[in-house]
Structure 1
Amino acid sequence: MATMQEVATRAGVSIATVSFVVNGTKRVSPATRERVTAAMAELGFRNNVVARALASKRTRIIALLHPALEHRLGSTSMKFFMSAANRASELGYHLVLWPVVTGPDELRDLLSGGLVDGVVVMEVKMEDSRIERLTDLRVPFISIGRTADTTHLPFVDIDFEKTMEDGLDYLTGLGHRRIGLVIEDLEGTSMAGYAPHIRSERTFRESMTRRGLLPHVVTCGPGAAGGRQAAADLLATEPDISAVIVMKDDSAFGLVRGLSTAGRRVPDDVSVLSIASSDEAGAQSEPVLSTMNAPGHELGKLAVEALIEQLDGAAAPDAELPHLLLPCLLHVAGSTAPAPA
C-alpha cells in the first residue's frame, strides 16, 4: 500500500500538503489538490479513516437522519440526499444515511460513540424529539425542514406556504374554482405530525377560504391503490371538482387512473398538479403531470455547507442561525388546462 511520502513525491509537494488534502485540516489550492488526488489514485493510496479519526479526534463523517423504513426514500428525497452527499465529498467529508426512526436514546448512542461529527435531519415533524435531543447535546446539526418553533433551529426548507399559494394562483388563473387537495394519511404512524403536510394543508385551507372558495381535502393511502381511492373520495365530496393538487408522488398515477375510471378526463375535465415533486416523477403518469418541483439539489447543498461551516469554525460566533426557504417552481406539462366551461 502506498504511503503519504510516496504520494507527496509523485505529486511534487510536501508530505504536509498531502496530509492537508487527506485530512481536510487546511485549505489548499484546487490545482494542488488535483495533483495530490491524482497521485493518490495512480498509486492506489487508501486513506485510513480510523487512524485519521484517532489523530484528529474527528471522523469527518456526517450522518443524515432519514426514517426511510417508515417514510420511503422517494425520488424527491433522493435528490436531497445525493446533492448533500456530493457537496460533503467536495468539502472533504463523508455523508452516511441513517435510515431509521432515530429517537432520543438512539441518537445519544450514535453521538456519544463519536461516530459522526455532525448531523443533517430530514423528514421533520412539527414537534420533533430528534431536534430537541440534538439541541440538548449541543451537537452541530442542521435540519432540512422546520419544527413549529424555529427560534433556535438552524434549517433550510421548502417554502410550502409560498408553494401552495403559487399553485393556487396558477390553477385559479386557469379559471378553476372547485379545487381539492390530496395528501398522505399519516395518522397513527410514527410520521404523524409531519411538518410539510401540516403546513401545506393549513395554507391550502386558509388560501381557499380567503379567495372565497370551499377547500376540499382528502387523505390518501399508499401507492396507486391509495391514489385511486383518493379520487373516489374526492368526487364523493365534490362531484364537480375541476382541479386537484396532490402531494404524494407514488399515488399520483393512481389518482389520475381513478379519475379516468370515474369518467373524468385529465386535463379536459379535471386538472392535476403535483407539488413538492419533480419532472421525473411527473413523467411516470399519462398524461405527464404538471409539477411544482422541489429544490432538492439546492437545499441539500446549502444544508451541508451550513453544517460544515459550524464544524470547521468558519461561521462567525455571533452569526445568525441559517433560516433559508426556497419555493417549489412550476413546471407545466399535460395534466393541467383551463377549467371546463
Structure 2
Amino acid sequence: MATMREVAERAGVSIATVSFVLNGTKPVSPATRARIEAAMAELGYRRNVVARALARRRTNILAMVYPALDHRIGSAAAEFFTSAADAARTLDYHLVLWPVGSDGADLRELVGQGLADGVVLTEVQLHDPRLAILQETSTPFTLIGRTAEPGGLSYVDIDFDATVDLALQHLHDQGHRDIALISGDPRFEDYGPYVRTEAAYLRLAKDPLVVPSANTPASGKAAASRLPDHITAVLVLNEYAALGAASTRTVLPLLMTPETAALSTTPLTYLRTPAAELGRLATQALIQQLQGAPTPTPHLLPATLQERP
C-alpha cells in the first residue's frame, strides 16, 4: 500500500502539504491539490479514515436513530434512510442507521463513543427522552418530527393539519359525510404523528369517530369490523393496519402509502408522505449545523393525494 511519503515524492511536495489536502486543515492551491490527487490515483493511495478523523476531530459520519423494535420499518422509513444517505453522500458524509429504542437507554453510550458527528432523530415523541441525552452530551442533532414544544429545535415534519384537511376534503368531494379514523397503536400515546393526526381529524371532521389499531393487518381488520354501518369512508393511519381494514370493509379507505394501495384489491386513494424530502432536508440541516451555520428554519410539508390507477 502506498504511503503519504510516496505520494509527496511523486507530487513534488512535502508530507505536510499532502496532509493538508487529506484532512482539509489548511488551504492548498488548486494546481498543487491536482498534483497530489493525481499522485494518489497513480499510486493507489487510500485515505486512512481513522487517522483523518483523529486529525480533524470529525468522523464525517452521521447517525440516523430509528427505534426499529418499537416501530416497524415501512415504506416511509425506508425513504427516510435512502434519501438521507444520498444527501449525506453528496456533501462528503456517510450515514449509518442506529436502531436504538425510544427510551434512549442505548443512545447515551453510542453518542459518548464519538462514532458520529451528529444525529438525525426519527419517530419523535411529544416528550422524547432522547432529546435530553443529545442536549446533555452536546451532540448536534436534527429531528424528523416534533416534540410538544419544538421552539429553538432544528426539525422537519409532515404538516398534519394540511394533510388531514386534504384527505377529508377529497372524501367530501366524493360524497362521503360519515368518515372515521383508524388511528395508531394506543401503546404509543405520546408519538407525535399519531397525536397530531388525531387532533387535526377531531378538529376538522364532522361527527368524528376514532378507532385505535395496532400496526398489524389483523388489528386493522378488527378495527374496521367495529365501525358502525353508517360509516362510508375511513382514514387509516398505518399502512399495515390498512391492509386488514381494506380486506374487511366496503368503505373507501384513504391511506398513507402507495405500497398498501397496490397490495389491496379494494379501490384505494392514498396520501404519499414526503418522506424522501424530509430525509434530505433533515440531513442537510444537520450538516449545516456541523459547518457552523445558524439553526435552519423548520420545514412542514403536507402529503400529496394519489389515486391507484
TM-score, structure 2 as length reference: 0.87
> How far 1:256 sits from its partner (Å)?
1.1
| Counterpart residue type for residue 220 of structure 2 | G
Distance 1:13 1:178 in 2: 76
- 1:207 paired to 2:204: yes
**Equivalent residue for 1:126?**
126
Alignment of 1:1-341 (within 5 A): 1-3=1-3, 23=23, 45-101=45-101, 103-104=103-104, 106-187=106-187, 191-208=188-205, 213-234=206-227, 238-259=228-249, 264=250, 270-275=251-256, 277=257, 279-287=258-266, 289-313=268-292, 315=293, 319=294, 321-333=296-308
Q: Give the conservation status (yes or no) of the 8 Å contact 1:253–1:286.
A: no
Distance 1:161 1:12 in 2: 62
Distance 1:306 1:5, change over 3 A: farther
Distance 1:103 1:40, change over 3 A: farther
Distance 1:35 1:294, change over 3 A: farther
Deviates further, 283-292 or 71-80: 283-292
> How far 1:231 sits from its partner (Å)?
1.3
SS at match of 2:229: coil
Distance 2:34 2:277 in 1: 25
| Counterpart residue type for residue 229 of structure 1 | A
Q: Give the conservation status (yes or no) of the 8 Å contact 1:65–1:102.
A: no
SS at match of 1:184: coil
Distance 1:227 1:40 in 2: 58
> How far 1:147 sits from its partner (Å)?
0.4
Deviates further, 102-111 or 46-55: 102-111
SS at match of 2:263: coil
> How far 1:286 sits from its partner (Å)?
1.8
| Unaligned runs of at least 5 residues, structure 1 | 265-269, 335-341
Deviates further, 4-13 or 152-161: 4-13
Q: How many residues align?
A: 308
SS at match of 2:186: coil
Give the alignment's Cα RMSD to 1 decimal: 3.2
> How far 1:4 sits from its partner (Å)?
5.4
Q: Give the conservation status (yes or no) of the 8 Å contact 1:65–1:100.
A: yes
Q: Deviations over 1:181-214 (max 9, x none)?
A: 1122232xxx441000000001101101xxxx21
> How far 1:76 sits from its partner (Å)?
1.0
Q: Give the conservation status (yes or no) of the 8 Å contact 1:252–1:285.
A: no
Distance 1:17 1:301 in 2: 34
Distance 1:39 1:233 in 2: 71
> How far 1:47 sits from its partner (Å)?
3.1
Distance 2:37 2:267 in 1: 44
Distance 1:102 1:221, change over 3 A: closer
Q: Deviations over 1:114-164 (max 9, x none)?
A: 121111100000110111222233321100000000112110111111111
Distance 1:163 1:229, change over 3 A: same
> How far 1:99 sits from its partner (Å)?
0.3
Distance 1:244 1:102, change over 3 A: closer
Distance 2:265 2:36 in 1: 50
Distance 2:35 2:275 in 1: 32
TM-score, structure 1 as length reference: 0.79
> How far 1:85 sits from its partner (Å)?
0.9
| Counterpart residue type for residue 207 of structure 2 | L
> How far 1:288 sits from its partner (Å)?
5.4
| Counterpart residue type for residue 307 of structure 2 | V
Q: Give the conservation status (yes or no) of the 8 Å contact 1:153–1:321.
A: no
Q: Give the conservation status (yes or no) of the 8 Å contact 2:70–2:102.
A: no
Distance 1:156 1:35 in 2: 42
